[in-house]
């Protein structure tokens, strides 16, 4: 069974069962080693860089992020 079919089946569950499954899956990540976590972050960074290179994501300056954060915190 691949992740695609598992995801389809999981999404067809009632919300309470999906929430329980999500909680169990998230808690299973707590047992990752530092090097495993680092590898996951590197993979995520590479994915995001690819999306930027492909024009799928819009870059936002740090100054703009700070400005928007200040607006939200008012």
Q: What is the tens place of the pLDDT at every residue in 13-65?
A: 999 999 999 999 988 877 888 899 899 999 999 999 999 999 999 899 999 99
Residue 63 has a pLDDT of: 96
What sections of 1-74 are H helices per DSSP? 3-11, 15-28, 34-53, 62-73
Structure tokens, 39: 């590898």
Q: Is 10 exposed, middle or buried (0-12, 13-18, 19+ CB in 10 A)?
A: middle
- Predicted local distance difference test score (pLDDT) of residue 12: 95
Per-residue pLDDT, 22: 94
For residue 6, pLDDT beyond 80: yes
57 in Cβ contact with 48 (< 8 Å) = yes
């Amino acid at each position: 069974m691949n992740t695609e079919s598992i995801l389809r089946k999981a999404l067809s569950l009632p919300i309470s069962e999906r929430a329980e499954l999500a909680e169990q899956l998230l808690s299973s990540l707590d047992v990752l080693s530092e090097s495993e976590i680092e590898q996951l972050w590197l993979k995520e960074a590479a994915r995001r860089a690819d999306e930027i290179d492909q024009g799928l994501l819009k870059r936002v300056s740090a100054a703009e992020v700070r400005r928007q954060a200040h607006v939200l915190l008012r």
